Amino acid sequence: MSDGLTVKKSFWERLKDTYRISILDDENLEEVGSYSLSLLSFYIFVSVIALLISFLVIAFIVFTPVKRLIPGYGDITDNKKFIELSKKVEGLESEIQAYDVYTEGLKNLLTGGVHNSSVEKLDSVAALKNVRPELVNPTDMSESNRTRELNFLPFATPVSGGISARFQPSIRHYGIDIVSSSNTPVKSVLDGMVISAEQSISGGNTVYIQHQKNLVSVYKHNSVLLVKTGDIVRAGQAIAIIGNSGEMSTGPHLHFEMWYDGKYVNPENYVSFN
């Protein structure tokens, strides 16, 4: 026991012993400087420096963006900025999906290839959120309520004459055929913008006009087009001359269609042709 106590005492005594560190000139061995310190003070100094460096490193990691580079540090979903960006991305994805569906329906409409599946897809867009109301009506309504607002629009007569073929969607005849005299001007039923004015194989010289309330009017088989794509037209303005162009035509007449929210509607319910 006495030997053990002696060893322990000698250790603490050595810690308290003072040592001198001398700095000598290498050429003449002259003492340039000297420093006195004990092992205990040296250990305390090293420990304080180590603690200070550790504190600075931890503070640098915690209070700077560098912590995001450390694998497993925190959960990125808790980051406020990340959450905000995620919400914006979700909103943009919904809007892009709505635009894609709307564009597909409009493309089918312009090419005369609208099928029931396309119409059903356009109906599904109504459930999407954050969609611009001028493109898609988000309210799921019955047919009568869906087209009710069309009754309040001041439609002009596109062309006066007798109806030779009525609205028959069951055989994919989505409009009506009006027979009139040659050189009769075809007029726009409402104010709007021409979204297409060109010739197609089946419809001949055709004009598509986008109106308010997401309504599109279609004028086919004209002999001459008086407007071009991008033109702004007024209700009652002449946009074409009645004709017999296109493979689907059997004589001079106007084939007139109306599409509301991507669905065909019967023009006779809203427009007078007398």
pLDDT in tens, 186-240: 999 999 999 999 988 888 999 999 998 889 999 999 999 999 999 999 999 999 9
- Segment 147-162 shows an average pLDDT of 88
Q: How does residue 94 score in pLDDT terms, banded at 50, 70 and 90?
A: low
SS3 of the chain: the string is CHHHHHHHHHHHHHHHCEEEEEEECCCCCCEEEEEEEEHHHHHHHHHHHHHHHHHHHHHHHHCCHHHHHCCCCCCHHHCHHHHHHHHHHHHHHHHHHHHHHHHHHHHHHHHCCCCHHHHHHHHHHHHCCCCCCCCCCCCCCCHHHHCHHHHHCCCCCCCCCEEEECCEHHHCECEEEEECCCCCEEECCCCEEEEEEEEECCCEEEEEEEEHHHEEEEEEEECEECCCCCCEECCCCEEEECECCCCCCCCCEEEEEEEECCEEECHHHCCCCC
When the candidates are 2.40.10.10, 3.80.30.20, 2.70.70.10, 3.40.50.720, the CATH number that belongs to 155-269 is: 2.70.70.10
What pLDDT, on the 0 to 100 scale, is given for residue 187?
96
pLDDT score for 133: 41
- Answering whether pTM is above 0.75, one says no
What is the pLDDT confidence band of residue 135, given thresholds at 50, 70 and 90?
very low
Looking at the chain, the whole-number percentage of residues with pLDDT higher than 90 is: 30
Using one digit for the tens of pLDDT, what is the confidence trace for 63-86? 777 666 665 555 544 555 656 776
Where are the domains positioned within the chain?
17-74, 80-140, 155-269
